[in-house]
Structures are given as C-alpha cells and as structure tokens.
Structure 1
Amino acid sequence: MNKLMVSFFIVLMLVGCSGNNSLTSESTPEQSAETVQTSPTLPPSAEPSSTPSMQQTVAYLDTANLKANFGFADAEGRNILVTGHEKGLDQEMAQLNEAIGDQGKVLKLKFNKWQDGTEGSNGREMAHNFVNLAGYLYTVEEASAAPDETYYLTDQADFKVDALLPIESIKGQQALSTVEESIRLRIVDTKKREIQKIWKLADLSTDRQLYLVQFVRLDQDMLFSLVWKEKDEFIFMDYPAVIQGDEYSVWRVDDGGEVIPEMFSILFAADTSEGPLLGMNWWGSEGVNTFFLKKERDSFKEMDIQYGRYTSPL
C-alpha cells in the first residue's frame, strides 16, 4: 500500500507540473496576437525602402537663374576674364564663384578685380591677348581651366551642379561610324528631307545622344540641325539658310556652305523640369559664339543668353 501511495503521489506531482507549463504556453499566443494587432505589416508602398527620404531625388536646373556672365581662360588656366560688362559692377560680379565649361567641368573661383584694358590690345578675345583686355578678373582656386576655353560663370547658389549630365564627346571618324541606320531613317522621315552627312557629337548619360545633321541642298535652301535623341524622342534645333549670291558664306563667314563636328563643342548639358538644356560653342573663321538651347514642347529654342568672342586670325 505504501508503494501505491508513493506512486500515486508522484503521478499527482507530474500532472501539476504539466498544468503549470500549459498555462504558460497558453498565454504566449495571446500576447503574440496582441503584438500583431498593434504592429501590423506595412504595405509595400509604406515600407522603409520606398519612403521619399530614401529615394534618389532628381536635380533640376532653374533656367530663371541664368544670366549672361561668360569669360575665357588664360594660357595657363589659372585665371578667367569676364568680358562684355561695364566697369562698376564689382559688388554684383563678386557673387560669382563657379565657372562651368569644357563639357560640364565645374571650377571654384575667387573674384579678383576689374582689369583695365591696355593700348596694346589687338581686339582678339583670346589667351594671347588676355592681359590687354578689359573685364572682370577671377582666380581659379581648384584644378585649372582649359586654356583659351569659354566658361559660364555663376553663383553656386543659383546653379545646381547635380543637374549636369556626363558628356562623352566623340571625335574624328568615330563620329561618322557610330550613327545607326535606324537613327538616320528616323530623322529623314521626321524632316522629310534626305541627309547629306550625319555625325554623333556626344553620348550624354543613359539613352541620350547629340547629333549634327546636314541635309541635302534643295535649290538655294540649306539646312542643318542639332538633334537630341532621348530613348525614342528626337528634339531638333534647326538652322535653315538661303544662299544669296555668296555660296561660300552660308551660316557663318567663310564656312564653305557646310558644317563639320569640329565647329561645335559642348559647354555643358543639364536637366531642367521642362527637359534638357544645352550650352553650345559654335566656332567660325572670325570667332566663337556661345548660346543656350532650351527645350520647348517638341523642339529646342535659343535663349537670349548668348556670348561672342572675336578671334579672327591676325
């Protein structure tokens, strides 16, 4: 009997322990359920990886802040001279602290002084005549400017450099050989005019290219275009001309009635909220013209911001 009582007692102890464990396990699911209710799973649109603060923002250049402040570098690339302004604007010109050019390269600047011209000037706005020209003088603080190249000067607060696009210029024979036939056909179909020559001037970031196209002459009518291709969209800046007597000077003096890639270089390219903005240099026999092309609807339009340097050979 004693053995039976001991066995019975042991069984009661085991049952009691099992009951305590079961109470603990029953309370755990209830607490988990409460946790799920107070911290529901976020939908995909609200997950941290897609919150606005973690998304990559797109920088846009505000064209309303652009002003006609241009200059060019000396032979050593240490200084830039802004020409085309009158003396007495020191306070305004001292606000300019960046120069952008040579395919979008950004240089830090420090305002130096107004430089008086000298009687020894030959009138050419080029590096060899730099010290003889009147204008506002700036010192390049970091790196160096490309000698004799044109630059656009701005206050860094007015120009979002993050909006600049990378530029890979294409030179020589490669400019001709890299043009796909499908692009040529698309341009012919759009303009309803045969192409005499077409060149790719540059690749600009993903799915963006810039082309130069000279179309076949129609009687006295001439036409060339700068063409921006972005995915399946083509944006044209057309330059028509009518030959009137002198067939050797059509668009520019002594251009021979043709355009070639060596006449053009890209100052910079940038994104705006309306589309691309291009800063272009167009070299001729007597000088270089710098201008901005802004997208308006389905084509480019030249802005009023322009600059010209007289560089005619002596």
Structure 2
Amino acid sequence: MNKLMVSFFIVLMLVGCSSNNSLTSDGDHAESTPEQSAETVLPSPTLPSSAEPLPTPSKQKTDAYLDTDKLKMSFGFADAEGRNILVTGHEQGLDQEMAQLNEAIGDQGKVLKVKFNKWQDGTADSNGREMAHNFVNLAGYLFTVEEASATPDETYYLTDQADFKVDALMPIESMKGQQASTVEVSVRQRIVDTKNREIQNIWKLAELSTDRQLYLVQFVRLDQDMLFSLVWKEKDEFTFMDYPAVIQGDEYSVWRVDDGGEVMPEMFSILFAAETLNGPLLGLNWWGSEGVNTFFLKKEGDLFKEMDIQYGRYTSPI
C-alpha cells in the first residue's frame, strides 16, 4: 500500500473517534447520549448487599376509616349469660338480611363474633321490658355469641365485618365521670369562652388517647333556658353536641322523664368510637328513668350531628 493510502486511512480513523468522545472546554469527556429503540430495556436499579430493601407501598389509609354510608339500623342487647344477643325493633321476615350480620360491637368498642340463629317469637309472659330478665319473652332476631361473651344487658350494634372497619375503632378508657376538680382549668375556661356561658358542672367521661377526651358539661341555668353539652377535645380543637331545653312548667322532667333537670355521668356510656374521613364517630348510650337511647354522633365541622341511626330500649322499673 502506498504512503498516500495509509495517510488517508489514518485520517478516517481519527474522525470516527472524535464523533463519540469529544472534549469539552475544560478537558473532560462529554459523552453523547445514544438513541434508544422502542425495544431498549433499561437495567433495574440494584442495591448493595448491605442496603435496606426498597419499601413496599403502604396500604391506603382509608382502610382505617369507617364508611358511615354503610351503617345500618341493627341493634340488640345481651342476655343474662352473655351468650346471646336479641335484635329488636324489626318486623319478621328479614332472615336473609340478618344472616349477613356477623359482628357485634359495644361496651366501649369491644368486638364479638356472632352468628344468626333464628327469629324468636315473643310470649304472652312478656312485661314489655327490653332487658335480660325478659329476654326469652321478647320477639326479635336471635344471635349466638361465638367467641368470648357479651356483657349482660349491654346494648350492641350488629354489622357485617365487610362494612365495618374494626381497625377504625379507637381505644377507650372510661373515666367514670371524673369530677370537676380533675378537669384542667384551661379546658374549663375554653368551654366557657366558646359558649359564653358559665359551667354548673363538668365531668371527663373518657380518654381515647393523650390528645382526645370526651366531656359532659352542664351549664348554669339562664331563666327557663337549660343547656348541657357533650364536648370532644382533640388537641386544641373542641367539638360540641349541644342539648338545649326550655322549662315549661315541669322542672323535674327537662331532657328526659324524671331527670330532675340534671345530667350525670352515670347516664352515659360509650358504645364505640371510630375514625371517619371527616373526624370521629361516637356511638353513645343515654340512660333515663324509663329506658336507654342509643345514637350516633357524626362530626361536621366544629359541631356534632345526630345521625338517623338510633335505637331505644324500654327499661322502666316494674
């Protein structure tokens, strides 16, 4: 090969090298980015053996919230042994719907597994009281408690476990109505300032965490106007459920028959408390001289609203 041809080939090689590794102004190599075809597969990132594994995506937090749209009107109470629960307040012929219910929740959020048994006919021996001593004489849907036992004579909410996220339930520590001396002065003053009304008495009904408490407050009477409130405190936020009343002649029956115009912590117990996307949902029992009312309070803004899901048991002494 002559010298002219050798020189020509050397020039071509130099040009080809410079097209893939050009020099920048500071002397470093600036590598060009190769084009990728549609079938190019990028390598997966790998971790060194000492590194922690990549975290898996967490479950949606909505799994820990209760869907209030799925709540139904299914309440009952336990017999004297806590082995059975009778759902009352419904007509006969709902066996298919009742067979879907497999959990009972009550007595401060305790969850029991239950199984539908049958429709129980009432008897002529019934005295009309929906209590354990009259359990076998009442008409209703009979459920068997399959695990542990229910608290005798306690009210329970029955549901399908698919509809009620038990992970949404809050732990409850009953304070059994701690007196005003144990309620922080700052809490008391905040309530007075919010309602612009002095407090006659205040009790802490329950602790649900270090940041959540439930209070019962009766305010000072103003002429014929009476007021008590259930107050939910969460950190620095207060949510009220107000129960105003106007005395009209009978000062001995203001909110309930024969209540004497007073509320007391013994009148209230907690069925359960649960998280929803909008805040807490409270299931409460309110005992009076003639019966117990069970109702749900749903948080809406800075107030609670009573839901239409309610239950009543006639328990007047004989």
**TM-score band, normalised by the shorter chain?**
0.7 to 0.9
Aligned-residue offset at 1:228: 0.2
SS at match of 1:255: coil
For residues 169 and 211 of structure 2, the distance between their equivalents in structure 1, rounded to whole angstroms, comes to 15
Q: CA deviation at 1:171?
A: 1.8
Aligned residue among 222, 225, 233 for 1:229:
233
Q: Alignment partner for residue 151 of structure 1, among 151, 156, 163?
A: 156
Residues 239 and 48 of structure 1, relative CA distance in 2, 3 Å threshold: farther
Alpha-carbon offset, residue 140 of structure 1: 0.2
Q: Structure 1 213/50 Cα, relative in aligned 2: closer, same or farther at 3 Å? A: farther
Q: How far apart, in 2, do the equivalents of 1:107 and 1:120 lie? A: 30
Higher helix proportion (structure 1 or 2):
1
Q: Distance in 1 between matches of 2:288 and 2:153?
A: 15
Question: Displacement of 1:170 after TM fit?
Answer: 0.6
2:293 matched to which residue of 1?
Answer: 289
Q: For residue 73 of structure 1, what is the amino acid of its counterpart?
A: A
Paired residue type of 1:71: G
Alignment of 1:169-248 (within 5 A): 169-171=174-176, 174-248=178-252
Partner of 2:122: 117
* 1:53 aligned to which of 58, 68, 80: 58
2:176 alignment partner, SS class = coil
Deviation at 1:57, TM superposition (A): 7.2
Partner of 2:113: 108
Deviations 1:133-170 (A, max 9, x none): 00000000000000000000000000000000000001
Q: Name which of 137, 141, 145 aligns with 1:140.
A: 145
Matched, 1:259 2:263: yes
SS of residue paired to 1:165? coil
Q: Is the 8 A contact 2:126 2:134 kept in 1?
A: yes
2:74 pairs with 1:65: no
Residue 268 of structure 1 corresponds to 272
Stretch moving more, 267-276 or 48-57? 48-57
Aligned length: 273
Q: Which amino acid aligns with 1:222?
A: M
For 1:294 and 1:311, locate their aligned partners in 2 and report how far apart those are by CA, in whole Å.
26
In structure 2, the partner of 1:82 is 87
Q: Which secondary structure does the structure 2 equivalent of 1:95 belong to? A: coil
Deviations 1:85-133 (A, max 9, x none): 0001101111100000000000000110000000000000000000000
**Cross-structure match for 1:127:** 132
The one of 309, 312, 316 equivalent to 1:308 is 312
Percent of pairs with identical residues? 86
Deviations 1:32-61 (A, max 9, x none): xxxxx99599xxxxx967653389776000
For the Cα contact (< 8 Å) 1:175–1:201, is it kept in 2? Answer: no
Question: Unpaired segments of 5 or more residues in structure 1?
Answer: 1-36, 42-46
Separation in 2, partners of 1:113, 1:66: 22
Contact 1:288/1:308 (<8 A) preserved = yes
Deviation digits for residues 63-101 of structure 1 (CA, Å, limit 9, x no counterpart): 000001000000000000000000011011111000000
Match of 2:171 among 158, 166, 189: 166
How much does 1:259 deviate?
A: 0.2
